[in-house]
């Protein structure tokens, strides 16, 4: 082979979809559809539902931003400092260098910006806070989120928004496998593609995929609903494509707006929900389990 | 579509019962009457048996061990006078607030959903009365349980039903569940007849579905990830409370080591006799290893890591008596955990329940001792019969038709269990266990139950000697050593 | 002796204890000579990035003119310093860190596992035992270098190196099948079985991609694998993709790591394509 050749093979034992397209660099994708501002972040009002307050007003009124240098601080002290902040406070974590468990378990309406890549569980088990990561993140971004927002300005690894009970997780790049697994009422919006097994066992809530969905989408779904703007590679067990209603279009419009996606046409998405065939256990379905 | 176990999705059909054995003909072991009945059940209903409780089969257990109490070579302590401590501290290694228990006998995780709210409240009250801990389950924490329990362990399971940071911070310890002895490697199951409005709401499920839960956690796999997950739990709880890791007993040596390497403060090892609210009979009877073997393997792993006493060891799966407790402690457990036995104390499998005509009839907990129980006994044997079983044989927790209000969500049935009366019974039972344990420890000359040691034990059978690693009685022979 | 004493103490075979563990892995392949002299520094940074996943022991494999495999017990960062990893040059490298679960940690269970494929036999199966590269059993020295010199520009070295994160579920059966074919493993480690399996498949005529596809269909369990040979670098994951893996690629190099933070500091990372490998797809780069 020639130097530098990169060969990707067909999946082995997969669903026979065929040769996938060339890998798209998730971390470096620039989607025209994602609005970004020099100041970083959307106007507070768009995220919280408050009216009249633009970003500039919010920033002028807000107290000075607390800057924490992670090169100098243990995770424990960083999180303790964030937890001690009052409602409305802002903090910026610099040199995160992919550190795990940043900004977990927050309980107040604080705005935290992580200036660089974060590791597992960023913003996990959180309430009310608005956490933004300027970079890619590891597994379980916003896992078990109760309320508030976790926004990833990059790619998210596996299990983004796992078991989120509320709030909104936004991924501006791609999300890999099992995005929205076990979702329990929270909302997940991914600007790019999602990997295999997205929404596995998802119980309630909404997932919006701005790009394509990988194999086995919605496997073992309960009552969560998935909207896909791109193509669906394959559906999982007990997931089905259903008609889009006016209520769906409205829900997608709101979610896309809150996520800041303008590349999603709410009228032109695929709705995936549970066929509810596995709701009652029957060994006649053994092949489906 | 109703569950095949039920008529109209609600009332269970009687299970096919084996005919009584006929003495005139030779018995058949491989295809005995129960086996024939099971084959017919699979043939008729197209499914495998699902049930509650733990393994029915006989496996080597603590009854196969004996304690060598004091005589001429060692002196006993006076039974009713000289102190024998039962205080137990768990998780002091990293937690700012370790779990401190008055007795080394705790109540295991059982879900609200599998159990009634009344049963969960009763267990919490009982644990508080005797100064021990109780544990939530696969369905989240109820306010009744939190307020009734002085020390409450909050489980983090693969399903994450009802898991939330407020309850996490309200907990006195967190138990990350990798598996349980009844079904190591299997996910949970709760049949639709128990998924009522409140259970469904807490678990974010549609009412009446047959809930099938995951067997792997949604956001980590393997011990290297678990280490990160444990750090997250510590961060959210501000490093205040211990983190337990619970495993079903299979590859115990390796699994205990990995749990410790991942950062567990306490390892909970649940042997194959451990109970469940509902799972496949094949799982219950044919997976995992006996508690007797598990406790010795777990203790040896901690000893090899030089972490005995540093990392706590809780053993569960078929613990019934103070003798079981004493033997488990002697083999290296720091505490034991009970599930089925406290349910029996609550009234599980009893032929009657006690009806209180006046809810205020229950005296205050503190004054119950020595006072006759109020109310009247009501016979529910016919209701067991309707389930195709009888008091003393019932494992029909999965049907949700528990005649004594323990494992049901039916309003009429749950009303049969008064939480305060139930708490009194369970507290009595746990106190009796603690007293039996100290009695045996004193007789071994120990001023603290935690000073019992393997050398205080011998085995009755070669199997038990090999599994527990103690000599066969009358010899110095430990098979395999 | 040590093992029999431990058996006495716990009655547990070492295999049960050491079958799987906790670890971090990294692999690096240079597409041209630009960073040849910085390969050691690059892989050292990657090793540091996965050290938390496996703080008890470490190992590296470096393909330069030949192959060198180094393993040692102890802190991975100290290990890298001790062997002067940052100063080494080469074209391809693997790194592995391990969290031990036994009281007496030995280098024997450290990755990378290096195996030279047995010479092809007449039948489909290899019958000549493989020669493993790495520490001899019971070696007292903490670091066991094993250099395989090359001859001029033509690499004659056919050794395959492997690092694995995860745990296999049916390696015992595959180990037995390999033994029937005359291939014996040095340790009770599950990952070593995969290395020998791949080497046996190469000897039987498969190319590396085909051998990895066959491994994916043959082995049960969870795995992210990175494999190097004298001219190739490959990555493959199990169908469920249970263990983490991230690939970063530029015109000059391709890197695979367990965690993103292990990529930090690589030259040109800002412009690299960064993606997660799809489950059960073979990713292969060859010079």
DSSP state letter for B372 = P
Among B304, B469, B480, beta carbon nearest to C103: B304
Judged by a CB distance cut-off of 8 A, whether residue A12 touches chain C is yes
C146 secondary structure, DSSP code: -
Per-residue pLDDT tens digits for A75-127? 999 999 999 999 999 999 999 999 999 999 999 999 999 999 999 999 999 99
Task: Mark whether C161 is an active-site residue.
Answer: no
pLDDT per position as a tens digit, C228-265? 999 999 999 999 999 999 999 999 999 999 999 999 99
The alpha-carbon gap from B50 to the nearest alpha carbon of chain A, in Å, equals 11
Give the mean pLDDT of C171-175: 96
Mean pLDDT, to the nearest integer, of C4-17? Answer: 37
Quote the pLDDT of residue B17: 58
Using the structure block, give the residue that is written with the tokens 């933004």. Answer: A132
pLDDT digits (tens, 9 = 90+) for A181-222: 999 999 999 999 999 999 999 999 999 999 999 999 999 999
Token output for B187: 């996910």
**Domain assignment present for A135:** no
- From residue A121, alpha-carbon distances to A101, A124, B230 in Å are 5, 5, 11
Q: How far is CA B59 from the centre of its chain?
A: 17
Q: What's the confidence (pLDDT) of residue B364?
A: 54
Whole-number Å distance between alpha carbons of C64 and C36 = 9
Q: Tell me which chain C residue has its CA closest to the CA of residue B297.
A: C10
Of B216, B254, B481, the CB nearest to C8: B481
What residues of chain C lie within 8 A of the CB of A25, using their CB?
Answer: 249, 272-275
| Both tokens assigned to C52 | 């938390």
Residue B38 inside a domain? The answer is no
| Chain A touched by C215 (CB under 8 Å) | no
**A265 in any annotated domain:** yes
Q: How far is B259 from chain A (nearest CA, A)?
A: 19
Show the tokens assigned to C217: 């269909």
Given an 8 Å threshold on Cβ–Cβ distance, is B218 in contact with A125?
Answer: no
Alpha-carbon gap: A179 to the closest alpha carbon of chain B (Å): 10
Asked whether residue C2 is domain-assigned, the answer is no
pLDDT tens by residue, C47-84: 999 999 999 899 999 999 899 999 999 999 999 999 99
All residues of chain A having their beta carbon less than 8 Å from the beta carbon of residue C284 are 6-9
Query: CA-CA distances (angstroms) from residue B132 to A105, A204, A289, B154, B442?
Result: 28, 36, 40, 14, 21
User: CB of A64 within 8 Å of any CB in chain C?
Assistant: no
> What is the number of structural domains in chain A?
1
| Contact state of B481 with C16 under an 8 Å Cβ cutoff | no
pLDDT on residue B18: 60
Q: Cα-flanking dihedrals φ and ψ of residue C205, to 5°?
A: 110, -5
> Would you say residue C1 lies in a domain?
no
Domain that holds residue B79: 62-356+378-454
SS3 C58: strand
In chain A, what residues touch C244 (CB-CB under 8 Å)?
138-139, 157-158
Distance between CA atoms of residues B356 and B346, nearest Å: 15
Enclosing domain of residue A241? 155-278
Residue A176 lies in a domain: yes
Burial of A275 (0-12, 13-18, 19+ CB in 10 A): middle
Cβ contact B206–A126 (<8 Å): no
CB contact under 8 A, B231 and A75: yes
Residue of B79 and C225 predicted with greater confidence: C225
Q: Assign A3 a pLDDT band (cuts: 50, 70, 90).
A: very low
Tokens representing B414 are: 């749950």
Q: Which among A146, A162, A223 has CB closest to B218?
A: A162
* Among candidate residues B404, B397, B387, the one with its CA nearest the CA of residue B351: B404
Tell me if chain A has a CB within 8 Å of the CB of C283.
Answer: yes
- Residue C257 lies inside a defined structural domain of this protein: yes
The answer to whether residue A159 sits within a structural domain is yes
Rounded to an integer, what distance in angstroms lies between the CA atom of residue A272 and that of residue A248?
11
CATH code: domain of residue C248: 3.60.20.10
CA distance C208 to C211: 5
Residue A57 included in any domain: no
Asked, for residue B111, whether it belongs to a domain, the answer is yes
Name the residue facing C17 among B223, B225, B253 (closest C-beta): B253
Q: Which residues of B touch C23 (CB under 8 A)?
A: 224
Do the beta carbons of residue A151 and residue A145 sit within 8 Å?
no
CB contact under 8 A, C260 and A12: no
Q: What mean pLDDT do residues A241-245 have?
A: 97
CATH number, domain of A211, equals 2.160.20.60
Interface with A, mutate which of C259, C268, C283 (most A CBs under 10 A): C259
Residue C102: band (very low, low, confident or very high) from pLDDT cuts 50, 70, 90: low
B112 lies in some domain: yes
> How high is the mean pLDDT of chain C?
82
> Over its length of 481 residues, how does chain B's per-residue pLDDT go in tens digits?
434 444 333 444 445 556 666 778 888 889 988 889 889 988 987 877 888 888 889 999 999 999 999 999 999 998 878 899 999 999 999 999 999 999 999 999 999 999 999 999 999 999 999 999 999 999 999 999 999 999 999 999 999 999 999 999 999 999 999 999 999 998 877 888 899 999 999 999 999 999 888 899 999 999 999 999 999 999 999 999 999 999 999 999 999 999 999 999 999 999 999 998 888 888 999 999 999 999 999 999 999 999 999 999 999 999 999 999 999 999 999 999 999 999 999 999 999 999 887 766 665 554 455 566 778 899 999 999 999 999 999 999 999 999 999 999 999 999 999 999 999 999 999 999 999 999 999 999 999 999 999 999 999 999 999 999 999 999 999 999 8
Whether residue C163 is predicted with pLDDT greater than 90 in this model: the reply is: yes
Phi, psi (deg, nearest 5) at residue A58:
-60, -40
| Number of domains into which chain B is organized | 1
3-state secondary structure chain A: CCCCEEEECCCCCCCCCCCCCCCCCCCCCCCCCECCCCCCCCCHHHHHCCCCCCHHHHHHHCCCCEEEECCCCCHHHHHHHHHCCCCCCEEEEECCCCECCCCCCCCCCCEEEEECCECCCCCCCCCCCEEEECCCECCCCCCCCCCCEEEECCCECCCCCCCCCCCEEEECCCECCCCCCCCEEEEEEECCCECCCCCCCCCEEEEEECCCECCCECCCCCCCEEEECCCECCECCCEEEECCCHHHHHHHHHHHHHHCECCCCCCCCEEEEECCCCCCCCHHHHHHC
Question: pLDDT band for position C20 (50/70/90)?
Answer: low
Residue A17 touches chain C, beta carbons under 8 Å: no
How many CB atoms sit inside 10 A of residue B206's CB?
Answer: 17
Task: State residue C195's pLDDT score.
Answer: 97
Q: What is the pTM of this model?
A: 0.89
With a threshold of 0.95, tell me whether the complex ipTM lies above it: no
| pLDDT tens readout for residues A40-49 | 333 322 333 3
Q: Does any CB of chain C come closer than 8 Å to the CB of residue B231?
A: no
CATH number at residue B313: 3.20.20.70
- CA distance linking residue A159 with residue B85, whole number of Å: 47
A142 belongs to a structural domain: no
Q: Provide the pLDDT confidence category of residue C117 given band limits of 50, 70 and 90.
A: confident
Place of tokens 């709701």: A279
- Which residue is closest to B224 within chain C, CA to CA? C22
Cis peptide before C112 (omega within 30 of 0): yes
A267 occurs within a structural domain: yes
What local confidence, expressed as pLDDT, does residue B249 receive? 97
Which residues 6+ apart lie within 8 Å of B391 measured at CB? B349, B350, B351, B380, B381, B384
Beta strands B88-90 and B99-101 are antiparallel
Per-residue confidence (pLDDT) for residue A63, from 0 to 100:
66
Q: What is the rounded CA–CA span in Å between residue B315 and residue B59?
A: 16
Cβ count near B43 (within 10 Å): 9
B290 burial level (CB within 10 Å; 0-12, 13-18, 19+) = buried
Half-sphere exposure at residue B375, Cβ-oriented, CA atoms within 13 angstroms: 19
- Residue A32 placed within a domain: no
- Residue C121, burial from CB neighbour count under 10 angstroms (0-12, 13-18, 19+): middle
Residues of chain C in contact with residue B297, where contact means CB-CB under 8 angstroms, are: 10, 12
The 8-class DSSP code of residue C270 comes to G
Give residue for tokens 């909050």: B154
User: Residues of B with CB below 8 A from C222's CB?
Assistant: 221-222
- For chains B and C, what is the number of CB pairs under 8 angstroms? 71
Q: Do C24 and B301 touch (CB under 8 A)?
A: no
Q: Which residues of B touch A278 (CB under 8 A)?
A: 212
B388 lies in a domain? yes
Number of domains, chain C: 1
Looking at residue C119, its pLDDT comes to 65
Tell me the DSSP string of B179-234.
Answer: --TTSTT---EE-GGG--HHHHHHHT--TT--EE--SS-SS--HHHHHHHHHHHHH
Tell whether B50 is covered by a domain.
no
C149, part of any domain: yes
Q: How many CA atoms lie within 13 A of C209 on its CB side?
A: 14
**Record: contact A100-B209, CB cut-off 8 A:** no
With beta carbons under 8 A apart, name residues in chain B contacting A146. Answer: 164-166
Distance from CA of C9 to the nearest CA of B (A): 8
User: Residue C131 pLDDT more than 50?
Assistant: no
pLDDT of residue B368: 54
Token representation of residue C272: 């690299």
Residue to substitute from B6, B95, B140, B160, interface A, most A β-carbons within 10 A: B160
In a domain, residue C62? The reply is yes
3-class secondary-structure state, position C238:
coil
Q: How confident is the model at residue C166 (pLDDT cuts 50, 70, 90)?
A: very high
Which residues numbered 9-38 in C keep a CB inside 8 Å of some CB on A? 31-32
Structure tokens that stand for A189 in this block = 């919006």
Nearest 10 degrees: Cα torsion C71, C77, C78, C81: 90
Return the structure tokens found at B373: 């129980």
B459 occurs within a structural domain: no
Partner residue opposite B261 with nearest CB, options C8, C24, C101: C101
Q: Provide, rounded to the nearest whole percent, the portion of chain A with pLDDT above 90.
A: 74
């Amino acid at each position: 082979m020639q130097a530098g050749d990169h060969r990707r093979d067909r999946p082995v034992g997969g669903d026979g979809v065929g040769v996938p397209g060339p890998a798209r660099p998730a971390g470096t994708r620039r989607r025209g559809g994602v609005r970004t501002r020099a100041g970083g972040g959307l106007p507070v009002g768009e995220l919280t539902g408050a009216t009249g307050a633009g970003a500039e007003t919010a920033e002028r009124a807000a107290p000075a931003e607390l800057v924490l240098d992670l090169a100098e601080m243990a995770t424990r002290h960083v999180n303790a400092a964030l937890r001690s902040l009052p409602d409305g406070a802002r903090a910026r974590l610099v040199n995160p260098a992919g550190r795990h468990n940043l900004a977990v378990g927050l309980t107040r309406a604080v705005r935290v910006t992580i200036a660089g890549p974060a590791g597992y569980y960023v913003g996990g088990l959180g309430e009310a806070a608005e956490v933004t990561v300027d970079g890619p993140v590891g597994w379980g971004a916003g896992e078990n989120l109760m309320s508030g927002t976790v926004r990833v300005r990059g790619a998210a690894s596996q299990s983004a928004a796992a078991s989120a009970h509320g709030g909104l997780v936004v991924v501006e790049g791609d999300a890999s496998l099992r995005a929205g697994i076990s979702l329990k009422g929270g909302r997940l919006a991914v600007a790019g593609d999602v990997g295999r097994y997205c929404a596995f066992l998802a119980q309630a809530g909404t997932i919006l995929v701005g790009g394509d969905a990988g194999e086995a989408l919605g496997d073992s779904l309960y009552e969560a609903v998935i909207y896909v703007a791109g193509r669906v590679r394959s559906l999982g067990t007990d997931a089905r494509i259903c008609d889009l209603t006016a209520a769906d279009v409205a829900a997608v419009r709101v979610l896309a707006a809150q996520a800041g996606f303008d590349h999603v046409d709410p009228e032109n998405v695929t709705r995936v929900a549970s066929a509810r065939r596995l709701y009652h256990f029957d060994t006649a379905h053994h092949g489906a389990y | 579509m109703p569950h095949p176990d039920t008529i109209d999705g609600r009332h269970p059909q009687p299970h096919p019962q084996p005919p009584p054995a006929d003495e005139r003909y030779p018995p058949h072991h491989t295809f005995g009457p129960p086996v024939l009945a099971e084959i017919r059940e699979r043939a008729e209903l197209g499914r495998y048996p699902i049930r509650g409780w733990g393994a029915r089969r006989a496996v080597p257990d603590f009854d196969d061990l004996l304690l060598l109490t004091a005589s001429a070579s060692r002196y006993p302590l006076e039974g009713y006078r000289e102190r024998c401590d039962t205080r137990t501290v768990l998780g002091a290694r990293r937690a700012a607030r370790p779990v401190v228990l008055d007795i080394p006998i705790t109540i295991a995780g059982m879900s609200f959903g599998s159990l009634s709210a009344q049963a969960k409240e009763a267990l919490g009250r009982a644990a508080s009365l005797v100064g021990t801990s109780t544990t939530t389950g696969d369905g989240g924490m109820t306010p009744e349980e939190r307020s009734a329990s002085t020390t409450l362990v909050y489980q983090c399971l693969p399903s994450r039903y009802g898991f939330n940071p407020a309850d996490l911070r309200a907990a006195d310890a967190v138990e990350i569940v990798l598996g349980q002895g009844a079904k190591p490697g299997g996910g949970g199951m709760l049949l639709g007849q128990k998924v009522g409005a409140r259970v469904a709401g807490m678990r974010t499920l549609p009412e009446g579905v047959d809930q099938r839960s995951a067997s792997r956690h949604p956001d980590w796999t393997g011990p290297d990830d678990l280490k990160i997950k444990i750090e997250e739990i510590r961060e959210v709880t501000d490093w205040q409370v211990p983190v337990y890791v619970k495993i079903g007993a299979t590859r115990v040596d390796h699994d205990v080591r990995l749990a410790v390497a991942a950062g567990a403060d306490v390892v909970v090892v649940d042997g194959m006799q451990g109970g469940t609210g509902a799972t496949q009979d094949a799982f219950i009877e044919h997976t995992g290893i006996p508690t007797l073997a598990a406790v010795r393997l777990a203790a040896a792993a901690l000893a090899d890591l030089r972490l005995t006493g540093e990392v706590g060891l809780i053993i569960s799966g078929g613990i019934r008596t103070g003798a079981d407790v004493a033997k488990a402690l002697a083999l290296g457990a720091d505490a034991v955990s009970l599930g089925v036995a406290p349910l029996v104390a609550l009234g599980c499998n009893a032929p009657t329940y006690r009806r209180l005509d006046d809810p205020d009839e229950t005296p205050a907990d503190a004054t119950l001792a020595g006072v006759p129980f109020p109310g009247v006994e009501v016979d529910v044997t016919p209701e067991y019969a309707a389930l195709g079983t009888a008091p003393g044989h019932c494992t029909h927790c999965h049907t949700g038709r528990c005649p004594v209000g323990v494992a049901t969500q039916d309003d009429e049935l749950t009303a049969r269990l008064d939480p305060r009366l139930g708490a009194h019974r369970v507290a009595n039972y746990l106190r009796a266990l603690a007293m039996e344990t100290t009695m045996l420890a004193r007789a071994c000359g120990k001023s603290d139950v935690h000073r019992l040691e393997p050398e205080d034990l011998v085995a009755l059978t070669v199997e038990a000697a090999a599994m527990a690693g103690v000599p066969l009685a009358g010899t110095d022979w430990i098979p395999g050593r | 002796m040590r093992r029999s004493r431990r058996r006495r103490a716990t009655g547990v075979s070492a295999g049960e204890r050491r079958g799987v563990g906790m670890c971090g892995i990294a692999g690096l392949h240079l597409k041209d000579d630009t960073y040849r002299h910085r390969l050691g520094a690059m892989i050292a940074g990657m090793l540091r990035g996965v050290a938390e996943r496996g703080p008890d022991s470490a190992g590296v494999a470096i393909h330069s003119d030949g192959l060198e495999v180094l393993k040692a017990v102890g802190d991975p960062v100290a290990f890298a310093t001790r062997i002067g990893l940052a100063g080494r040059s080469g074209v391809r490298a693997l790194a592995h860190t391990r969290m031990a679960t036994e009281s007496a940690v030995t280098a024997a269970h450290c990755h990378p596992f290096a195996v030279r494929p047995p010479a092809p036999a007449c039948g489909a199966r290899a019958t000549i035992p493989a020669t493993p590269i790495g520490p001899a059993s019971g070696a007292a020295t903490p670091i066991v270098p094993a250099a395989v010199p090359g001859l001029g520009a033509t690499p004659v070295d056919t050794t395959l190196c492997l690092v694995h994160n995860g745990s296999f579920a049916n390696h015992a059966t595959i180990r037995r099948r390999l033994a029937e074919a005359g291939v014996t493993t040095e340790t009770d480690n599950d990952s070593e079985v995969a290395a020998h399996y791949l080497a046996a498949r190469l000897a039987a005529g498969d190319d590396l991609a085909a051998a990895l596809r066959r491994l994916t269909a043959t082995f049960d369990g969870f795995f992210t694998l990175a494999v190097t040979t004298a001219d190739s670098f490959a990555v493959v994951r199990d169908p469920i993709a249970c263990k983490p893996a991230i690939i970063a690629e530029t015109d000059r190099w391709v890197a695979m790591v367990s965690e993103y933070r292990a990529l930090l500091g690589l030259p040109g990372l800002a412009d690299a394509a960064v993606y997660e490998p799809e489950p059960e797809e073979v990713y292969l780069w060859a010079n």
